[in-house]
Structure 1
Amino acid sequence: MLVFILLLIFCLFFSIFMTGLLRRYAQTHLLDQPNHRSSHRVPTPRGGGMAIVTTFLLAAPLFVSLIPMPYGISHSSFVLIWTAALGTALVGFIDDHTSLKPRTRLIVQSIAAALVVSAVGGLPELTFFGWSLDLAWLGYVVAWLGVIWFINLYNFMDGIDGLAAGEAFIVCLSMALFHFLVGGDWSSASLLLLLGISAAGFLCWNFPPAKIFMGDGGSGFLGLMLASLMLLDAASAPEFLWAWLVMLGVFVVDATWTLLNRYRLKCCLSEAHRTHAFQYAARRWHSHRKVTLAVLLINSLWLAPVATMIVLGHLDGAFGLLIAYLPLIYLAYHLNAGVPE
């Protein structure tokens, strides 16, 4: 236990150190200039999310060599997920330097998602409202599409200071605590804590007012890793799937509602915009800090208690998801998410 805690502390400071190095590099090579679609007003370096990537991908093999393989997966499955995460991060980092065609990004994301689904074995049998549903081969397709969506969803939601990194930290910490509540194995929670700590190191630089932005490399990596850990948790305990979806509710609802609304209004879906609910809230409150803290409070005071009841078996997963999402849907509607300015 002591060795594990010391490793986490080391990873925290390593992530902080790597973010500082990346900031020096980005000030020359990756300076994000404000424009009419930006949520920031001063030139700010980006690409700092690669500190999260570097910390996690270097430390994860060390972690699994010291503890039993998390979730009981094979070493080959772990390598598939590790490779998918690295590929997604590298393509995102390249995209930060020179914008790639959407088709190129989608091809890489599709391959990465296929590797993850192959490693985790698709979706497990779903239980909701007292019914069980085995999707069989269709579960692989749904899981594959879900991973692709989470990669892009996280990229969409990385729009203001501290939001994406703060979300990753609080969600990983909460899910690790849920493992302890139900007597889950230490090894499974360890990867969650490692990812959360890696994000926390970057957050020290990214918390409002941000000194560096995450960039597509970091956001795509986080989206893929959170989706991967969600599927691994779901395979070991189906109620964890619902808990994950509840904890990520702010991001899922905002990104999905915005995309569907823009599609309904015949907006160009590939065009950059700033019509997410959190972006409207940041402009209304004239503060990134207030919105980021509000999201973290929603996660801690609203979504986490609902997710806790689900994992402890006191609340049906699908019903809990509905309870958790209804206020978030109202907020997205109230803030005109997806409606052009």
Structure 2
Amino acid sequence: MMLWLFLSIIAIVSFALTWILRKYAIARSLIDVPNARSSHTIPTPRGGGVAIVLGFLAATAAMYWMSLLPLNQTVAFLGAGTLVAILGFLDDHGHIAARWRLLGHFLAAFWALYWIGGLAPVSILQMKIDLGLFGYLVAAMFLVWMLNLYNFMDGIDGLASVEAVTVCVGMAFLYGVQGNAEVAGPLLLASAVAGFLCWNFPPARIFMGDAGSGFLGIVLGMFALQAAWVSSELFFAWLILLGVFIVDATVTLIRRLLRGDKVYEAHRSHAYQFASRHYGRHLPVTLASGVLNIAWLLPVAFLVVYGKLDGLLGLLVAYVPLVLLALKFRAGDVEVR
């Protein structure tokens, strides 16, 4: 009962902070004005994701104070999450060169990995793979890709918020049925995002901004790496539930690389962007992503967690239809103006 009260308080605080941040953004002219690379048509305040950051980090500190969260996880979230959020906040207010952002992202990743313990040995097809020290580099690349792909995927109203809420609630369900104590972290993040989502749901009255999207990406990646120390099945479950974002961003990046595009330049060639233009609205695409997470990816993840399906095979079962769907909606295709 205390957990649910705490979650409600976090959601309310996040909602109120988003309202304050919206007024701040309007007063400081922090407005996303539509341009040729935008997926929106109305000038909209940005930077509301700071509410998610403050809500979740405050909840994390409170959980540690109540002896409900270990020190290593608390320090990992506070350190890595704060650094990524500050970089995003500064970029929202001006511009930070890509090389400095990337350096900051890797510093945040290695800070998190130091406290998490790196990449745990992972069981694949009944074989245990232990990368040792090399696993730190692999895990750092994973975290940096997660925080950047989440930024890439935060391009239409409510999409990044709905993704975070449905993935976290789905994993909390899997943890809860298994009786795992890790259930609190994902629920805290889902509550912080839910408060913001009230303002971000289509049609959005404020955007998340880089501070919020990068923060969500690295925290979700940290959740996945922490889960790997509990069981390989839970690690694969996180990857499966994050499939909509991972597949769209990765397929888009690969196709643009193969075509020789400058991948660091802004574009509108993700599958979700083509889909939103096809339907003429953001809402159907945002809702579809949530439905895919709950109706398709969660059942596959459930089968993996409860030993009915090998983790790698479950990942393939989950991802193949997503790849086909991404290609159907032209992920990474040339934009026709």
Give me the TM-score of the superposition, normalised by structure 2: 0.97
Structure 2 unaligned blocks of 5 or more: none
Judge conservation of contact 1:78–1:119 (CA < 8 Å) in 2.
no
Residue 168 of structure 1 is matched in structure 2 by: 164
Tell whether 2:199 aligns with 1:196. no
Q: CA deviation at 1:77?
A: 4.8
Tell whether 2:115 aligns with 1:116. no
Q: CA deviation at 1:334?
A: 1.4
Residue 65 of structure 2 is matched in structure 1 by: 65
Residue 11 of structure 2 is matched in structure 1 by: 12
The within-5 A match list for 1:24-35 is 24-29=23-28, 30-35=30-35
Tell whether 2:275 aligns with 1:276. no
Judge conservation of contact 1:89–1:220 (CA < 8 Å) in 2.
yes
RMSD of Structure 2 on Structure 1 (CA): 1.0
Tell whether 2:130 aligns with 1:131. no
Residue 322 of structure 1 is matched in structure 2 by: 316
Give the distance between the partners of 1:76 and 1:7, measured in 2 at CA: 22
What amino acid does structure 2 have at the position aligned with 1:229? F
Residue 22 of structure 1 is matched in structure 2 by: 21
Residue 218 of structure 2 is matched in structure 1 by: 224
Give the distance between the partners of 1:164 and 1:194, measured in 2 at CA: 16
Residue 301 of structure 1 is matched in structure 2 by: 295
Change (3 A) 1:67 1:170: farther
The within-5 A match list for 1:130-279 is 130-185=126-181, 188-279=182-273
Write the deviation string for residues 110-145 of structure 1: whole angstroms up to 9, x where unpaired: 100000111111111111222221111111111011
Give the distance between the partners of 1:76 and 1:134, measured in 2 at CA: 22
Give the distance between the partners of 2:137 and 2:102, measured in 1 at CA: 16
- Where 1:127 maps in the other structure, the secondary structure is strand
- Where 1:132 maps in the other structure, the secondary structure is strand
Give the distance between the partners of 2:186 and 2:73, measured in 1 at CA: 17
- Where 1:99 maps in the other structure, the secondary structure is coil
Give the distance between the partners of 1:207 and 1:227, measured in 2 at CA: 24
Give the distance between the partners of 1:327 and 1:135, measured in 2 at CA: 30
Give the distance between the partners of 2:73 and 2:152, measured in 1 at CA: 28
Give me the TM-score of the superposition, normalised by structure 1: 0.96
Q: CA deviation at 1:97?
A: 0.8
Judge conservation of contact 2:57–2:77 (CA < 8 Å) in 1.
no
Judge conservation of contact 1:171–1:247 (CA < 8 Å) in 2.
yes
What amino acid does structure 2 have at the position aligned with 1:329? V
Write the deviation string for residues 160-180 of structure 1: whole angstroms up to 9, x where unpaired: 000001100111111111111
Residue 45 of structure 2 is matched in structure 1 by: 45
Give the distance between the partners of 1:156 and 1:105, measured in 2 at CA: 14
Residue 285 of structure 1 is matched in structure 2 by: 279
Judge conservation of contact 2:224–2:235 (CA < 8 Å) in 1.
yes
Structure 1 unaligned blocks of 5 or more: none
Q: CA deviation at 1:67?
A: 4.1
Give the distance between the partners of 1:27 and 1:77, measured in 2 at CA: 36
Give the number of equivalent residue pairs: 334
The within-5 A match list for 1:71-86 is 73=70, 75-86=71-82
Give the distance between the partners of 2:72 and 2:252, measured in 1 at CA: 37
What amino acid does structure 2 have at the position aligned with 1:184? N
Q: CA deviation at 1:76?
A: 4.3
Judge conservation of contact 1:242–1:307 (CA < 8 Å) in 2.
yes
Give the distance between the partners of 2:89 and 2:215, measured in 1 at CA: 10
Give the distance between the partners of 2:288 and 2:323, measured in 1 at CA: 16
